[in-house]
Amino acid sequence: WVKFGDDTEFFTCSRNRTGDCSPFRHTRRGFPLGADSYTVPDPKVMVKAALPGVTDLAYQINHAQAQMQLGGWVGVETDAITVMHMPVSMMQQALENMAQIRAIGDKVLDQERMSLIFTVLSIVFMVIPFVGQAL
């Protein structure tokens, strides 16, 4: 979704400036820019890819907790919590998205069923007068 590239801005003098004025440009290299195109990942694929690492994540959390309790943790405790929270929250978000997608899909299927039922009933009600005249 993001690519890194060069962003160039061209500036000219403002209207209220007096005297010599020369335009200039400002280029930022390695600047985050919007990607030209991207595909939204399937949440189910994301969760399947992340599942093997869940057991390792649990081990890493327990290991970091033990180091903190024994006083062997060198870094800042909040950094460890923040880093380990990210994959968990991403999986949670992916699962919530899957539930929303399923609910939307079920709603669409129900609407299609109702549409089919109304179409069949419309055809039946359209044919009934002709059947009555034929009898």
* 52 and 105 co-located in one domain: yes
Nearest to 90 by CA among 63, 66, 57: 57
Q: How many domains does the chain have?
A: 2
Both 100 and 70 in one domain: the answer is yes
pLDDT of residue 111: 93
Expressed as residue numbers, the domain containing 30 is 2-34
Asked if 85 and 21 sit in the same domain, the reply is: no
Q: Between 126 and 15, whose confidence is greater? A: 126
Q: Do residue 80 and residue 25 come from a single domain? A: no
* 64 in the same domain as 95: yes
Beta-carbon neighbour count of residue 43 at 10 Å?
19
pLDDT at 112 over 90: yes
Where does the pLDDT of residue 54 fall: very low under 50, low under 70, confident under 90, or very high at 90 and above?
confident
Do 75 and 111 sit in the same domain of this protein? yes
